[in-house]
Structures are given as C-alpha cells and as structure tokens.
Amino acid sequence: MASLTSGAGLRTVVVEDAGAGALVRLNRPERRNALSLELMQELVGVLRALGERTDVRAVVIEGAGVAFSAGHDLSEMVQRDLSFYQRLFDTCTELMETIHKVRQPVIAKVHGIATAAGCQLVAACDLAVAADDARFATPGVKIGLFCSTPMVPLSRAVGRKRALEMLLTGAPISAQTALDWGLVNRVVPASELDTAVDAFVAAIARSSPLTVGIGKEAFYSQIELDEHRAYDLTKSVMAMNSMAADGQEGISAFLDKRPPIWSDA
C-alpha cells in the first residue's frame, strides 16, 4: 500500500496525497498520456489500493503535460494478435469498472484534450471538471477503429443522439458543449481548475465516508434498473444506512444543531 501511494514501482502514473484527497497523475506527457496497457494496469492497481484507504475521501485523476489523455496508445496496436487486443480492451473495461467500484468519488480534472479512451475515462469518472479550453472527442471512426468501448460511458453520460454525433463524426466538442451535454460538471478558466476540483473534494470530505460509499454503490446499482426495481433496491439501502452509526449520528447532530462526528461505521 505504501509503495503505491508513494509512487514506488510505478512507471506511468504518479500518486500524491492532497489533503483529504489523492491526486493520480497520468504520466506519459510525451505521448499525451495515451492509455497504454501498462498505464491502465498501473491505474487499476492504484485505484484499488486507494480504495482501501479510509483517509482518502476522493480521488482526482489528471494528466501531465499539455493534455489529459489522447486515448489508447496506437503505437502498441499495430500488427498484434487477437489475444493482445482482447487483453487491452479487457484491461480498459476493468479500469472503467474499477472507477465505479471504489468507495471514493473519482474526479476527472481535464485540461487540453480528452479523446477516444481519454474521453471514455472522463465519462466514466463520477465527477468531472474541465478547463474552458479543453476539448473532447471520440475520433476513432476517422481511422477505421470505431470508439465502441468509449461509447458505453459516453452514451450514458450525454444520451443517444449526442453520443452518436460524437461517435459518427469524430468531431471534437468544446468544454462548454461538454458541460451543456452533461459530460462534465464544471467548466472554469484554466487558472481556476485546481480551486474548482479542491472545492468538490472539500464538499465530499464533509460527509460521512461510509455514507458516500453507500450512496455511490447504490447509484450505479440502480441507474440501469426500471423504476420499480430501483426503488426495491434503494429502499433497502436507505433502511440499512439508517441503522449505521454514521446514519444515526448525522440525524442526531442535525436535531441537536451540532456538527456531526463521523466514525465511518
């Protein structure tokens, strides 16, 4: 655990503690942080390790250099056998699912470009903040490789017609359009990106980590269910949440008009 959070043994990802959160930096600036197989494997390991840390209340993912991420590393995708491609996209899927499985909210901090699998990474994160000059695209169709896996979180974030516009044309959208479409939560001047992300982390850290984790898990469990099954699930979640120590503490603190003291239990 210590080696991961200190960055020891990592070649393509940098991990830093940042107050109540952890900062995870994609560290292939010379390749615009292309998601190589190695980078994705390291990122999965880092996220899982951070997910076990009770002191980390949120995880922020950013890119080193001039871009967030340009997507898959095309240089490692030339003339490979089927088993390599299967492993590559299995790992990519594992990464995106791990983002949803860790208890902490994962926040994309986007500057420059987020294209193809880089755009997928933004869409998969729980929250996203973008600099006002950031650009987003799924341009695989232009090079004969349709962005089929990026399509999964993208279509769930922005809806069918908007996702298909991005997927079928490959044309980039601006940060403001990404905000209007629901791909990101906030757009701010680049000089205010750190402040905006820090505000999200601080807001998350004020709540019970147990409750945040329960809520995040329930959100992804119910989002694709029909309404009746979603209520069946969430009413049980709320009943168990009500019995938790932090649930009782929060209710009591509100009634007593005092700050709650969270025990993460």
Q: Could you write out the DSSP letters of every residue in 81-128?
A: -HHHHHHHHHHHHHHHHHHHHSSS-EEEEE-SEEETHHHHHHHHSSEE
Cβ-based neighbour number of residue 166 at 10 Å: 27
Please give the class, per CATH, of domain 209-256.
mainly alpha
257 φ, ψ (degrees, to nearest 5): 55, 50
- pLDDT score for 231: 98
The per-residue pLDDT for range 129-161, each reduced to its tens digit, is 999 999 999 999 999 999 999 999 999 999 999
Average pLDDT over residues 261-265: 93
The per-residue pLDDT for range 212-249, each reduced to its tens digit, is 999 999 999 999 999 999 999 999 999 999 999 999 99
Position 7 pLDDT exceeds 70 = no
Rounded-to-integer distance, Cα 177 and Cα 130, Å = 11
- pLDDT score for 3: 38
Cβ-based neighbour number of residue 215 at 10 Å: 17
Position 2 pLDDT exceeds 50 = no
**69-92 as b/e: b if 16+ CB within 10 A:** bbbbbeeeeeeeeeeeeeebeebb
CA-to-CA dists, residue 27 to 10, 31, 69, 109, angstroms = 10, 9, 10, 14
Query: Any idea which fold 2-205 has?
Result: 2-enoyl-CoA Hydratase; Chain A, domain 1 (3.90.226)
DSSP state of 134: -
Rounded-to-integer distance, Cα 116 and Cα 122, Å = 10
The per-residue pLDDT for range 60-93, each reduced to its tens digit, is 999 999 999 999 999 999 999 999 999 999 999 9
263 φ, ψ (degrees, to nearest 5): -115, -5
- pLDDT score for 192: 98
Same fold flag, 2-205 and 209-256: no
Task: Label residue 169 by pLDDT band (50, 70, 90).
Answer: very high
The per-residue pLDDT for range 84-126, each reduced to its tens digit, is 999 999 999 999 999 999 999 999 999 999 999 999 999 999 9
- pLDDT score for 133: 98
187 membership: H or E segment, kind and range: strand 186-188
Delimit the domains of the chain by residue range: 2-205, 209-256
